[in-house]
Structure 1
Amino acid sequence: MLHLTKYWDDLHVLHVNREEPRAHYIPYADERSAQSAKRGQSPLYQTLNGQWKFRYYNSVHEVKDAFYEDGVDVSGWDDLLVPSCWQSNGYDQMHYSNVNYPFPCDPPFVPDRNPAGLYLRDFQVREEWLGKQKHVVFEGVNSCFYLWVNGSFVGYSQGSRMPAEFDLTPYLRDGSNRMAVMVLKWSDGSYLEDQDAWRYSGIFRDVYLLARSESRVRDVFYRADLSEGLDQSVVQCTIDTVGSVDVTIQLVDASGVKQGEASGTIDGSATFSLTVEQPELWHAERPYLYSLFVTGGGEVLHFKVGMRKVEVRDGVFLINGQAVKLKGVNRHDSHPELGQTIPLKHMIQDLHLMKRHNVNTVRTSHYPNDSRFLDLCDELGFYVIDEADLECHGVLHAGDYHMLTKDPAWEAAFIERAIRMVERDKNHACIVMWSMGNESGYGVNHIAMARWTKERDSSRVIHYEGAALKYNGHPDTDCLDVNSRMYATVQELLDYATNESLNKPLLQCEYSHAMGNSCGDLQDYWDVIYKYPKLMGGCVWEWCDHGIKAVSPEGEAYFAYGGDFGDKPSDGNFCIDGLVSPDRIPHTNLLELKKVIAPVLLEAEELSKGLVRVTNRYDFIDLSDCVMAWKVERDGETMEQGLLPVLHTAPKQSEVIEVPYTIPAEGGRWFLQITVMQSRDTRWAAAGHELTSEQFELPAPHSSMDQETTIAWKPSLKVRTEGSEVTIEGFDFLHVFDLQAGTFTRVTKHGVPLLQGMPKFHIWRAPADNDRKIKVFWRQEGYDRIETKVYRSEMTLAAADKVRFEVEFSLGGYIKLPILRGTSIWEIDGEGVITVAAEMKVREELPYLPRIGLQWMMPGGNEELEYFGYGPHESYVDKRRSVRKGKYALTVDEMYQSYVVPQENGSRYGTEWATVSNALGMGLKFTSPGSSYSFQALHYTPEDLTEAMHTYELKRRKETIVHLDHRMNGIGSSSCGTDLLEAYQLSDKEFAFKLEIAPVMKEDE
C-alpha cells in the first residue's frame, strides 16, 4: 500500500491545508464581466472539468504505486469525465440505503476494504496568471480525498457536499502541471452522511482554478437590516482581507442606478454601511435583487442582494412582517443517468417545474446544494431551508439514536458541518432558515452547532426536527427558533395549533409521502395549515423519484431502484417517492399539490346570481398579474365563455365578483369553470399558464332527457335453457347466463362480443405504495386470492320483456373464512340492458377493503373510452382537488398512469356514466342509477399490476379490463408516516349498489 497518513478514520483530522471556508464567489477582473455573473467570462477562472485519467481499486490497500509522482505513465488508465459519479460510470457498486449504514457501525472506523478512485489531470496555467496566487476549488467530492500537485502533497479534505479550497501557489510551475487526486468511498465523515439516497462516490461537482491577488478580499458577508416599518434598509457589509487592501463597495439596483458607495483600506476585517431609503423588498413572489460590487486587490466580486426580514413573532413565522406559509418540497440532487452530478439546466428544469406547480419553498434535503442552485432560487423566488450535510440515521439501529451527537469527541465534526454551510451560503436572500441536519438524534453537539450559527447569523431562524420530544434527546431546545415534525397527523397539527403554551411556529419539514400513487391527504393538511397562524406550512417528501435509467434483458427502458443491483442492505423502492418521475414527468401527486396550495382560492358565494368569492392567498402581491377566464358547460359541452375584468385584490384579502353567465333555463348538468392564469411571460411559463381553476355545479331545471323514451314496438325475449346455461335472445342481442357460475358468460349486440370471460365482484386492487402497511393484513385474509362461491343461483323471472336471476354467493380466499357474503339480482330487459343490484356483508373483524365493485373484461379492440365524471387524470376519494367534472374522451392506454413500481392507478372517482367501445362505437355503457362510481379501464388486471415490480415486467393484454367500483379505498400517503384517515377507509361492513350495463352503438345515438 502507499505510504499515507490514515486521515480517513481519524476524528481529530477533518482536513489538512484546506483554506478557511468563505462565501461563494468568483473573482472578476472588472465590473462589466462581474455584472454578467458568467464565471467563464472571468480571466481569473479556469475550469478543470473535463476528461481525467482514472483508475479504480476495490480497496485503498490495493494501491501500491505512488501514482501521484511526476512522470508516471498513465496511458493505460481509463478516461473519466469530471464531474461525475463512479457508480454512474460502471465502477463500484450501485447502492441504495435509507437508514442503515452500508458497513459495520463502528464509529469512527470504516471498513478496511475502502474503495479508492485515482484521478490524474495534466493542465496548463495561463501566462497572465504569473505573479498571482493560484487556488483550486473542489465543489463536491464524496467522501474524502488526498491532493497532490507535481508530485507534492497539497492537502486532504472530507465532508462531501461543501467546497474544499487549496492554495496551489507553492506547487505549480511554468508549462505543464499534473494534479493527482485519490478519492476514498468511506471516511469517518461517512457516519455523518447517512442520507436516504443512493451512495455515490467521486468528484461529483465542479473543479476549477482561481487566480488571486496576494493582497485580496477573502470573504464578504452582507446583512440588509430593515427598519420596523420596512421603509429603510441598512446594508452592513463585513469584509475580510488577506493583507492590506483598498476596498470599494457599490450597491446598484436592478435598473443599474447606484444606491450607495463606500470605500476604505482594510487589513484584516472591517464593516461598511450603506443606507437605502424605501427599498424594494425581496420575497418569493417578486424576488427583487440589488447588486453589490466589492472591488479590491485588482478583483471585482459580485453579490446579489435581496432585502428581506425573517423573524418569529408571537409564535408566527414572518417574512417582511407578513405571516408566510411555506409551500415546499424536499429536493435531493438526483439525475437518472448522472446520479448526484446535476447539470445547471437540470436545476433550472426542477425549479421551473416547481414554479409552475405553485411551490414556493425548497428544503435542500439533506445537505447544501450546488451554489448555483441557490443563485437560481434568489433569482426565481424560492424560500430555502438550507440543511447541513449531516445525517447519522444508522446509529438508530446500532442501539442509540443520540450516540454521536451526545459524544464530545464528535463536536468538531458536527460544528464544522454548520460552519462550512453558513460561511458558503450566508449571502443568499433565498435562505430563510438554517437546518442543523436531519435524523441524527439530538444532543450537545447539535446545540453547539445551533449556537454557533445563531452567533454568526442572527438574521435567519434555525431548525432541526430531531430535537422533537418524541426522540427523547437533550431537553434544551432554546437554540432552535421553530418546532418541526415529520409526518404529524392532521389531528396532531390541530392540537399543536390550539395549544397556547406552545409558542414557536411549527414546520412539517416532511409530510405527505409522495411515493407512487400518493398525496391523498394534502387538502386535509392544508385546511388546518391555512387556518392557524402558528402552522407555517411544510415540505412534501419528496420532489423526484430516484430511479436509475436502465434497460431490461428484452431491451425495454425502465427505472431501476434499490436491490436491482444486488446492493445489500437495501431499502428497495423506497427511493421512488417523488412528485415527479426520474425524467421529471409530473405525477398526478404534483397536480394535486398544485391545486391545494394554489395562490388564489375561488368559492361559491351565490351562484344563482353569478357571485363568486375570490381570495388572494399571495402574501405580498395583488392579483393584477392574473387573468381569469370563465366558461359554462352543459353535459360537458361549452355553452358560453368569457374573460373577467382584471382584479386588484390585495394580498390575503377577498372580494366577491359577478360572473356574467346566463342562469340555466334548460335541463342537463351545468357547470361553471373559472381558470386563473398568469397574464405575462415569466422565466418558467408563458402568459396563459394556469395557476389554478375551480368548478361549480349550477342549479338547473330537471332535464327532459332523463324521462323514459317511448318506443313504438314491444320487445320480445326468447329464453332457452341448456344445462346450467340460460340464453336470452332479443331483437339485436344475445346474452348467456351461467347458473352454476352465477354470472354471464356471453354478451353480444349485433353479433359483436362484448364480454371476455365472466364478470365478477372484485375487492382486490394492486397495492399502491401507500398500502404497504395494510396490504400485509389484506393478504393475510386472502383479499388477493378471492374466489366466488355460489350457494344459490336461479332464474326467478322469464317474461317477454324481462329476465331475472338471483344469486347468493360469497367471496373468499383459501385458508380463511369467507370475506363477505352477498346477494345479486341480475336483470335483462327487452333491449339487452343488464342491471345488477348487489347487497353484501363483510365479516365484522376484517380490515377495510381495497375496493368493492364489479370487474368486466371486454374483448380486444375495445380501445375507445368516453365518460362523464372527474378528469382528465386519475382521482380518488381523497385525491380529487386537481380534477373537474366533465365529459372526457380518451383511449384505454391514456387511462393508465405509469409509476416506476406498477400499482393501483388510473381510476376516475365520481363517474356517472362511461362507455367503452371499439373504433366503430360498438360497446357498452356503464351507469350506476342515482349515484356515481369509480371507473377504471386498463390493459392490466390488478393481479398483473400486483405481480410486476418494474414497468418492463408488465405484459399488456389485448383485452380491456373494466372496473366499476361502488367504492374505492382512499390513497393517503402512509408509505411513511400517518395511516390513511378513517374518513377515506373502505371500512363499511354492509354495501348495496346497482349497476346498469347497456350494449350501445354510439354512432346511432
Structure 2
Amino acid sequence: MSHLDDVAPGSASRLPPRARSATDAPVHSLDGDWRFRLLAEAPVDDPGRVPEVADPALDDAALDAAGWTTLPVPSHWVLHGHGSPAYTNLQYPFPIDPPHVPDANPTGEHRRAFELPASFAGAERVLLRTDGIEGLATFWVNGVEVGWATGSRLTTELDVTALVVPGVNVLGIRVHQWSAASYLEDQDQWWLPGIFRSVELLARPAGALDDVRVRADRDPADGSGRLEVEVDGAFPVVVRVPELGIHVTWETAADVAPVAIPAVDAWSAERPRLYDATVSSSGETASLRIGFRTVRIDGDALLVDGRRLTFRGVNRHESHPERGRVFDESEARADLELMKRNGVNAIRTSHYPPHPRLIDIADELGLWVVLECDLETHGFWDVEWRDNPSDDPRWRDAYLDRIARTVGRDRNHPSIVMWSLGNESGTGRNIAAMSAWVRRADPTRPVHYEGDLTGEHTDVYSRMYPTLEEIDSVCGTPVASIHETAGATGAKQRAKPFILCEYGHAMGNGPGSLADYEDAIDRWPRLHGGFVWEWRDHGLLARTADGRPFHAYGGDFGEPVHDGPFVMDGLLLSDGTPTPGLAELAAVIAPVRVRVAADGSGVRVENRRHDASTDDVDLVWILAHDGRPVGRGILEHAPLSAGEAATIPLPVEARAAGHAEEAHVTVQVVTRHDAPWAEAGHVVSSHQALVRDRPVPRPRPAGRWRGDALGVGTFDARGDLVAWGGVP
C-alpha cells in the first residue's frame, strides 16, 4: 500500500529514539556520490516497486543507462538541477485537504552500493541511521523493504542485520516530496526535498549500550553536584569522570544510583564548563561532555542555578545559499562564534532540531538553547484552523513521535534549557499530549510553545512581536487584556515567566526599536528576554539570464505559490555578510554595558552577564582630537559580579581637550584573554562622549520669513490664519 496519505509517523520497524553520543563502536559513513533519478509523480500504481536490487553486474555501467545520474549525499536534489525549490511562509504549496497530497509529487530514487568494512566483523547487529531526509523516505536493502519514515529533521534508525551480506550490498532510498507529514512541516523556509543529512551504518557489538541518559544537577547554595546516569543495555557498566574522581561500577540495573559530588563548576553560557565522561559496558564505551546546572521556575522567574535567566537570542534556521540545509561544521562553528562576538547568548532552533553537531558546539562555546520540535501547521490559519492536525486524534502518534525523537536525541546537552513543542500549529489535544509526554520524560526543563494561548500546556508565557505597550500591560498593571486571552486566563499567563520567542523582525532595514525592547527587559524582572527574528537571510544562489549571480527568494524559480521576499529577513545576508542590524543589536544587548557621562567625567559600568564577573575584561579609554587618537589608557576597576554596576571616574588626561576644536573620549570593554570565539582584545561594547564641541558659526538668514500667504490670507508655521487682507 502507499504510505503517502498515512498519518502514522512511519513503520513499526523503526527503532526507539536514543541519545546521541560519541562511541568507540564502528560507524561507517555512506555519504558521497549516489545514483539518482527523479520521477515527476509518485509511483502510486506500484508503490512496492523496488528502485534497485542487488545485482552481480552492479559495477556494469549499463545498469545506470536508463535515466540515472550521480547525486551527492547529503544534498537537496532541487539544488542540483532536478526540479526547483519553492518558498512559502504561511501557505502550503498545495491545496489543504489533509491527509491527501497532489499526484504531481516529485519523487527521488537514490541507490548506493557498499561493502561492510572489516571493523563490522563480529557485530551483533547492524543499524542504518539517517539524520535528515526531507520527505517521506522508504528504505530497501538488497531488494527487501526495511521500513519507511517521516519527520524531515529527525533521526531514523532501522535494524538491517538480517539483510546485509558479505561483499556488495545495495541500499535504496525513495523520497516522496509530499506526504501526509508535509502538513506538519510548514515552517517558513524553502521546500527542499532530499537526503540532506548523513546516512550511516552502525556496528552494534554484543554487550553494547543501547541508550545512555544523563542528568547533571548543581546546587547553587553550596556548589555541590549530583550525577544521574540511566543505561539501557548490557551490564556491568562503568561510569568515569576523571576530573571529578568518579569511577563507579554497576553490576546490574538495580545497582544504578545517583553520584553525589562535593563541588562542581557550573555550566553557563558565559562559563561553559564541561567535564569529559565515559560510560562503558563489555562491548562499548560512550563518551560524553557533561555540564552541571539546574533549571527551574520559581513563580514568574526562570532560573538557572538560582539566577534569573535573560535570553539575548536569535532564531536560527539552517540555511546556505548553495547547499540549502546541508550542514558544514566549520561554517556552523563560525556562525556561533559570530553570535558570541556580538553578544548573542541564546538560540531558538526555529523550527526543528538542528544538525546534532550544532548542539555540541553550543555546549562548547556557551549558548543557551531552546530546542524546538520539527512541527508547524501554520497554513491552517488561513482556514481558521479547520481540520488542523493538532486537534485531530488521528495524528496523535505522529505528534508524540516527533517530540520523542526530539528529546530523545538531545537530552544530554547542558546548553538546552527548554523544550519547545513546535511553532505556529494552533492548539489542541495533540499539543496537550506532547506537553504531558515531555513533562514525564524530562522534568528538568520547562516546556515552551507560543501557540498555547491559555497556558494549559506550557511553563512559560511566550509571545511573538508584542508591542511595547502590550509588554507593559502583561508585566505591570493589567490595563488591557493579554493577546487573545481574558479574565482568569490572562491572570494565569501573567503569573508565568514571560519570553519573546520572536521579536525585532530584521527584514529590510530592521530590526527596529531594539533599545526600547531592551529597556523593557531591564525594567520588568519577569520578562526574560527573547529571540530576534532571525539570524540569516535564506536566499539561494541563482543567476540572471546573462550569468550574473544573485540570491533568489520566493517566485524567482517560477513557483506559482510563494511568499516572495519574506525569506530575506536576517541579521546576516544570505552569504553571511553582517548587516547594520547586527551591529545595532550588539550595541543594545552588550553583556557589559558602559555609558560615559556627558561631560566625560566618569563612566557607568553595568555587568549584565548571567554569572560571570568582569575580571576577564579591561576598560580602555581613547581620547581623540579632531578625529585623531591622541591618548589611551586602562581604567583601574574592581571586578563587578554579575548584576552589579559602578561609576568609575575618568582621569583628567582622558578628557583633556587641549587645543583641539573637537574632542571625544571613548570607553571600550575589551577582553583580556583569548576565548574559543574571539582573540584577546575583542571589543565587547563601547560608548563615546563629546568633551569639546567644534564651534560652528551661526548662519545668517537670507531674509525674514513673514508667514505664508494664500490670496489675501496670511498663515503661520502651523497653518493657522493670522491675518486677512493685512488685518490681524
Q: Give the aligned partner of residue 227 of structure 2.
A: 235
Q: Residues 116-169 of structure 1: CA distance to partner in whole angstroms, max 9, x if unpaired?
A: 101110111012322211111101011111111111111111111011111111
In the aligned structure 2, how far is the partner of 1:670 from the partner of 1:402? 66
Selected match of 2:126 from 134, 138, 146: 134
Count of residue pairs brought into register by the alignment: 691
The answer to whether the Cα contact below 8 Å between 1:402 and 1:440 also exists between their aligned partners in 2 is no
> For the residues of structure 1 that align with 2:501 and 2:701, how far apart are their CA atoms?
61
591, 611, 619: which one pairs with 2:610? 619
Q: What is the CA–CA distance in structure 1 between the aligned matches of 2:9 and 2:268, rounded to whole Å?
A: 41
Structure 2 counterpart of 1:84: 75
- Determine which of 358, 363, 367 is the counterpart of 1:373: 358
**Greater fraction of residues in strand:** 1
C-alpha distance in 2 between matches for 1:120 and 1:802: 81
Q: Aligned to 1:517, what secondary structure does the other structure show?
A: coil
Residue 467 of structure 1 aligns to a residue whose secondary structure is coil
Aligned counterpart, 2:93: 102
Take 2:508 and 2:535, find their aligned partners in 1: how far apart are those partners? 12
Shift of 1:804: 7.3
| Greater relative contact order structure (CA < 8 Å, 6+ sep) | 2
Whole-Å separation in 2 of the counterparts to 1:318 and 1:402: 38
> Which has the larger Rg?
1
State how 1:388-399 maps to structure 2 within 5 Å: 388-399=373-384
Compared with structure 1, are the counterparts of its residues 707 and 58 closer, same or farther at alpha carbon in structure 2 (3 Å cutoff)? closer
- Return closer, same or farther for 1:228/1:672 CA change in 2, 3 Å cut-off: closer
Determine whether 1:74 maps to 2:64.
yes
- 1:457-479 CA distance string (max 9 Å, x none): 011111000012xxxxxx4x343
Task: Determine which of 159, 169, 181 is the counterpart of 2:161.
Answer: 169
- The equivalent position to 2:240 in structure 1, one of 250, 263, 268, is 250
Question: Could you tell me which residue of structure 1 aligns to residue 29 of structure 2?
Answer: 47
Deviation at 1:553, TM superposition (A): 2.2
- CA positional deviation for 1:403: 2.3
- Distance of 2:639 and 2:119 partners within structure 1: 57
Q: Which runs of 4+ in 1 moved over 4 A?
A: 62-65, 705-708, 801-810, 839-843
Rounded to whole Å, the distance in 2 between the matches of 1:337 and 1:270 is 52
Whether the 8 Å contact between 1:259 and 1:276 is mirrored in structure 2 is no
Gaps in structure 1 of 5+ consecutive residues: 30-43, 469-474, 709-800, 811-821, 824-838, 844-1005
- CA distance in 2 between partners of 1:59 and 1:842 (Å): 68
Matched, 1:694 2:690: no
Report if the CA contact (8 A) 1:402-1:443 is conserved.
no
**For 2:441 and 2:69, how far apart are their aligned partners in 1?**
45
The 2-side partners of 1:245 and 1:103 are apart by: 51
Structure 1 54/282 Cα, relative in aligned 2: closer, same or farther at 3 Å? Answer: same
Please say if 1:119 is aligned against 2:101: no
**Cα deviations by residue, 1:805-837 (Å, 9 ceiling, x for unpaired):** 999999xxxxxxxxxxx99xxxxxxxxxxxxxx
Given candidates 261, 270, 289, the residue that maps to 2:247 is 261
Counterpart Cα distance in 2 of 1:478 and 1:672:
53
Contact 2:128 2:160 (C-alpha < 8 Å) held by counterparts: yes
Tell me the SS of whatever aligns to 2:33. strand
- Check the 8 A contact 2:17/2:408 in 1, yes or no: yes
Deviation sequence 1:915-972 (CA, Å, 0-9, x none) = xxxxxxxxxxxxxxxxxxxxxxxxxxxxxxxxxxxxxxxxxxxxxxxxxxxxxxxxxx
Look up the match of 1:440. 425
Alignment equivalent of 2:175, drawn from 147, 169, 183: 183
3-state DSSP of counterpart to 1:214: coil
Q: Aligned equivalents of 1:683 and 1:842: distance in 2?
A: 62
**Which residue in the other structure is 1:1000 paired with?**
none
Q: Which residue identity is paired with 1:559?
A: H
- Given the superposition, is the C-alpha separation of residues 265 and 112 from structure 1 closer, same or farther in structure 2, using an over 3 Å criterion? farther
1:427-460 CA distances to partner (integer Å, 9 max, x unpaired)?
0101001001000001111111011101110111
SS at 1:8 equivalent: coil
Q: Report the secondary structure of 2:525's partner residue.
A: coil
Q: Do structure 1's residue 143 and structure 2's residue 143 form an aligned pair? A: no
Counterpart in the other structure of 1:28: 24
**d(CA) in 2 for partners of 1:804, 1:283:** 65
Query: Any conservation in 2 of the 1:402–1:441 contact (CA below 8 Å)?
Result: no
Tell me if structure 2 keeps the 8 A contact 1:260–1:275: no
SS in 1 for 2:351: coil
Q: Give the letter aligned to residue 66 of structure 1.
A: V
Kindly indicate whether residue 463 of structure 2 is the aligned counterpart of residue 485 of structure 1.
yes
Tell me how far 1:516 sits from its aligned partner.
1.7
Q: Give 2:723's aligned residue.
A: none
Question: Post-superposition shift, 1:636?
Answer: 2.3
Q: 1:192 to 1:103 in 2, by over 3 A?
A: same
Counterpart position of 1:323:
308
**Paired AA for residue 460 in structure 2:** V
- The whole-number CA distance in structure 1 between the counterparts of 2:171 and 2:701 is 89
In the other structure, the counterpart of 1:528 is: 520
Match of 2:54, as an amino acid?
D
- Which runs of structure 2 are paired with 1:315-354 in the superposition (5 Å)? 315-354=300-339
- Describe the shift of the 1:125–1:807 C-alpha distance in structure 2 as closer, same or farther (beyond 3 A): farther
| Aligned residue identity for 1:656 | T
Q: How far apart are residue 258 of structure 1 and its match?
A: 4.5
Residues 378-427 of structure 1: CA deviation (Å, up to 9, x unaligned): 00000000000000001111332672212111111111111110011100
Please list the CA deviations of residues 961-992 of structure 1 after superposition, one character each: whole Å capped at 9, or x if unmatched. Answer: xxxxxxxxxxxxxxxxxxxxxxxxxxxxxxxx
Match of 1:719 in 2: none
> Whole-Å Cα distance in 1 between the matches of residues 342 and 189 of structure 2?
25
| Contact 2:598-2:690 within 8 A present in 1 as well | no
For 1:460 and 1:295, the matched residues in 2 are separated by 27
Quickly say closer, same or farther: Cα 1:657–1:228, change in 2 above 3 A: closer
Q: How much has 1:115 moved relative to structure 2?
A: 1.3
Corresponding residue of 1:725: none
* 3-state DSSP of counterpart to 1:7: coil
In the alignment, structure 1 residue 61 sits paired with structure 2 residue 47: no
Q: Does 1:682 align with 2:667?
A: no
Instruction: In structure 2, list runs of 5 or more residues that go unmatched.
Output: 479-490, 721-728
In 2, the alpha carbon distance for the partners of 1:364 and 1:637 equals: 44
Q: Is residue 8–residue 186 contact of structure 1 (8 Å, CA) maintained in 2?
A: yes
The Cα offsets for residues 523-567 of structure 1, whole Å up to 9 and x where unpaired, read as 000001012110000000000000111222233221111001111
Matches within 5 A, 1:388-537: 388-400=373-385, 403-468=388-453, 475=454, 477-499=455-477, 501=491, 502-537=494-529
The alignment partner of 2:210 has SS state of strand
Identity %: 36
Spell out, residue by residue over 1:168-213, the C-alpha distance to the aligned partner (whole angstroms, 9 max, x if none): 1100111111111111101111111010000010100011111111
AA of the residue aligned to 2:662: R
Residue equivalent to 1:213 = 205
d(CA) in 1 for partners of 2:228, 2:701:
88
Residues 9 and 592 from structure 1, CA distance in 2 versus in 1: closer, same or farther, beyond 3 angstroms?
A: same
SS at match of 1:565: coil
Q: Hey, what's the Cα distance between the residues in 2 that align with 1:311 and 1:60?
A: 48
Shift of 1:75: 4.6
Q: Report deviation, 1:326.
A: 0.2
Specify the SS of the correspondent of 1:169: coil
TM-score (norm 1): 0.66
Contact 2:503 2:532 in 1 (8 A): yes
